[in-house]
Structure 1
Amino acid sequence: MKHFKSHFTFSKEQRNGIFLLLILIVIFQCVYFFVDFSSNNVQVNQEELSKYTKEIDSLRLVKLEESKPKIYPFNPNYITDFKGSSLGMTNEEIDRLLAFRKQNKWINSAKQFQDVTQVSDSLLNRISPYFKLPEWVTNPKPKTNPTYSYNTKPKTYAQKQDLNTATAQQLQKVNGVGKVFSERIIKYRNKSAGGFIADVQLLDVYGLTPEVVEKITNQFTVKTPKAIQKINVNTATIDDLVTIPHIDYDLAHNIIEQRQLREGFKSITELNKVKDFPVNKIKIIELYLHFEKEK
């Protein structure tokens, strides 16, 4: 214990020194709290401060602009209630647009949009740059004179051109017959010497619809038909029948079998009863047949 107490025992000079130190500490603390060391003559660079302020303001404006809802290009004909509201349109303006569209009418310009909806000039100026109208409205193509003037009015037999001598360029004057179809017609015609037997053979040209065939036959007809030897269906063999378009060996066998049951055919319509007979090709098959009873 004696050794422990010796650490807290000070001489008179030491106690005086500690007391003086405490007084100095209190004095400095009072000076720090109660004396103003700031200078009123602080020099500020006004030019730099102005630049800094402007930079802060521009960054603030950019931030505000980014926080605004973005508008993307849109077709004004398809504005919904939600879309119109987000653009700043009133309910009445939106209703006028929807009523206009219900009549199956279309907005084709910014002015027409304002006429229909009655929006203010300021709103129109703000949203009209984002209008995205169809290409044919904003950039209509100039009308050009067609290369060919299509003929649609049927001609008389005397006025019609011969289908067996018509050129591809002449055929292309028919509406619906372009370069591809005209070349297919010529190719089909040239498969056998003499060309077409009758107009109905156009139905065998790949891709030609009955409507286009009708337009062709309004302007063209077979005037010099290919000469053929018709086959008597009541005496023909299977080998004879398979030479006719659209008749294969199975169908030829069915025809002869039906012929034996009927004791001969009297007309082309009776062939409709033959199994697997191509009814849609009956007019073409008829070109190659005649019906003469076997003696």
Structure 2
Amino acid sequence: MNKNVKDAFSFSKKELNGLLVFAVLLVLVALAPVIYSFFVPPQVYDHVAFEKEINAFMASAQKKETRKFRPFLRDEVENRELSGELFSFNPNNLSVSDWQRLGLTAKQIKVIKNFESKGGRFYKKEDLRKIYSIRASDYERLEPFITIPEKKDAYKEAAYKKPDMKFAMPVDLNSADSAQLESLNGIGPAFAIRIIKYRNRLGGFCRKEQLREVYGIDSLVYQKLVNRVVVRPEAVKQISINTATFDDLRKHPYLTYKQMNAIIQYRKQHGNYKDLDGLRPIAILNETVLNKIAPYLSFATN
């Protein structure tokens, strides 16, 4: 029995060598991570840059979402009802702050101010109800406090009679001041200022139809004015095309910067212009432009 036990637990030289090699391999496997990290340093990841990219993406997404809902927010603000404070008021030229005190929304006030800027006036209480942004409930709340002086009603009656006055003196567009222009039906202070500014840019009106070029004067307003105004073309201030500088030309509404520059450069290369035909070789000046600017050009060489 002792021999059997000894044979079971004894190893041959070959087996011992195998065990030794196996033990060495186990040690190497156990030490492999340490050895690898010694020769190959572990890679360090920069999370800061990654977090910046995440934050930038989130901010961009939030901005797009805000932009998406901005129209809804604007409408909500403009239509938001305010708590009103009632007091006697004249709706003509009433300040924005007073309209707000009365409880009107930003959108309602904007519509009223646009109406006034186009020469609109309130002649009687019911005129406020005609403003499309004023609700029936708003008008019923404000109506007892609306006070419009009687002289405004008299002014309105006179204004209504203007188109029918057979002997009313026509207004000269090239010499009229703002008060004379405001006497025309449909022309308020804002329109009068625009007409005068545009007249100064042109150098004067040479035909009535040019009123349509004034911002805000549509076909309806023009039809009210056409029989009440006159134009004296001789009052038009002309530009001496043979001596004009870029600054002399640049305020005129009928010419673009490129066209002005082309006129000056062509004159430098080919000499003075004798008449309108001298401008026709300039490619960017078509017949429409030439016909519009012709009354404003002088070809005198002195």
TM-score bin, normalised by smaller chain: 0.3 to 0.5
TM-score scaled by structure 1?
Answer: 0.34
Larger radius of gyration: 1
